[in-house]
């Protein structure tokens, strides 16, 4: 993956978004990001990306071009070797404090949903507010139930992920990153059409 804005690099992903340079505060500022996997595979080659507050940006590219790898670097799920990533003014360095601060602000909807199968829907959605934000259980549950209602699965709150359809699991996965608002940004790996429509409504 290289140079997101380059049109000459036909195999590389491109970023499409609601670019508006008048919005001055970048939420994500990636500059010259380079990453090699352990086997010396050079997967990210000097990637630059700026996402301003309120922008919705889509990263598109062929399978295997590095889209997932790139967005995983934003919350330190993948280390990178060169360049810099700054999220909401916090430099993503090896400093654990910075990493924890960024992870508190960056929500992520994984491609495979990543729900805990032994926890109910409600427990999945309240896990982070209770353990990361230290919210009281009652407050976390109140917010979680509101979110589940917004994504249309309130009546599934006490079921386990294995008892839900794929579409319902997606809805839990999208409720989860919003569970500890406010958030700087939300990364979505392959959002489905209904998620895109729902988010567009939320962000308008
Ligand atoms: N943990 C890993 N170790 C080595 N290579 C990996 C690893 N994860 C992904 N890759 C390789 O990195 C490339 C980019 O993968 P990925 O970021 O998942 O692509 P995309 O999301 O664009 O389909 C692929 O060639 C993939 O095989
Ligand atoms: Mg991918």
CATH of residue 95's domain is 3.40.50.300
Q: What percent of the chain has pLDDT over 70?
A: 76
Sign of the Cα pseudo-torsion (30, 33, 70, 14, in order):
positive
Same domain, 95 and 114: no
Residues 86 and 179 reside in one and the same domain: no
Mean pLDDT throughout 90-113?
78
116 pLDDT above the threshold of 60 = yes
Q: Which residues line ligand 1 (CB under 6 A)?
A: 37, 39, 41, 43, 61, 63-69
Q: Which residue has the higher pLDDT, 35 or 134?
A: 35
Query: Among 32-41, 73-82, 132-141, 172-181, where is mean pLDDT lowest?
Result: 172-181
- The residue whose CA has the least distance to atom 4 of ligand 1 is 37
Of 77, 105, 133, the residue that ends a domain is 105
Q: Given this model, what pLDDT does residue 1 score?
A: 67
Q: Which of 105, 128, 151 is the last residue of a domain?
A: 105
pLDDT at 15 over 80: no
Whether the pLDDT of residue 27 is over 60: the answer is: yes
Sheet strands (E) in 41-96: 42-52, 57-60, 82-87, 90-91
| Residues forming beta bridges with residue 185, ordered by sequence position | 106
To which H or E segment does residue 26 belong? strand 26-36
Q: Quote the pLDDT of residue 57.
A: 86
In this prediction, residue 193 carries a pLDDT of: 66
Q: How far is the CA of 58 from the centre of ligand 2 (A)?
A: 13
Residue 101 and residue 75 share a domain: yes
Pairing of the two strands 26-36 and 42-52: antiparallel
pTM summary value: 0.70
- Respond yes or no on whether the N-terminal peptide bond of residue 51 is cis (omega within 30° of 0): no
Nearest-atom index, ligand 1, CA of 65:
22
Specify whether 86 is located in the same domain as 122: no
Q: Are residues 93 and 160 in the same domain?
A: no
- Whether residues 79 and 115 share a domain: the answer is no
Annotate 30-51 with b (16+ C-beta within 10 A) or e (fewer).
Answer: beebebeeeeeeebbbebbbbb
Among the residue ranges 22-26, 77-81, 181-185, the one predicted with the least confidence is 181-185
The predicted pLDDT at position 126 comes to: 92
The ligand minimizing its distance to the Cα of 69 is 1
| Shared-domain flag, residues 6 and 80 | yes
Question: Could you say which DSSP state residue 185 is in?
Answer: E
Q: Is the pLDDT of residue 19 over 70?
A: no
The answer to whether residue 173 scores a pLDDT higher than 90 is no
The structural domain count of the chain equals 2
Residues 86, 129 within the same domain: no
Residue 114 domain boundaries: 110-204
Atom of ligand 1 nearest to the CA of 13: 22
Whether residues 114 and 198 share a domain: the answer is yes
> Do 201 and 153 share a domain, yes or no?
yes
8 Å CB contact between 2 and 52: no
């Amino acid at each position: 993956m290289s140079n997101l804005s380059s049109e000459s690099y036909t195999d590389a992903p491109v970023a499409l978004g609601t670019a508006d340079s008048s919005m001055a505060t970048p939420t994500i500022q990636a500059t010259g990001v380079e990453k090699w996997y352990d086997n010396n595979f050079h997967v990210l080659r000097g990637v630059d990306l700026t996402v301003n507050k309120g922008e919705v940006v889509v990263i598109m590219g062929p399978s295997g071009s590095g889209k997932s790898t790139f967005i995983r670097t934003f919350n330190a799920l993948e280390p990178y070797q060169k360049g810099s990533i700054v999220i909401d003014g916090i430099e993503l360095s090896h400093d654990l404090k910075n990493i924890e601060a960024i992870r508190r602000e960056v929500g992520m909807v994984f491609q495979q949903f990543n729900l805990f199968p032994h926890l109910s829907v409600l427990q999945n959605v309240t896990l982070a507010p209770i353990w990361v934000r230290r919210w009281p259980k009652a407050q976390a549950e109140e917010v979680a139930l509101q979110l589940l209602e917004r994504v249309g699965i309130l009546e599934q709150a006490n079921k386990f992920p294995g008892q839900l359809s794929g579409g319902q699991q997606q809805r839990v996965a999208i409720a989860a990153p919003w569970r500890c608002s406010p958030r700087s940004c939300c990364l979505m790996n392959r959002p489905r059409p209904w998620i895109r429509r729902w988010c567009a409504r939320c962000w308008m």
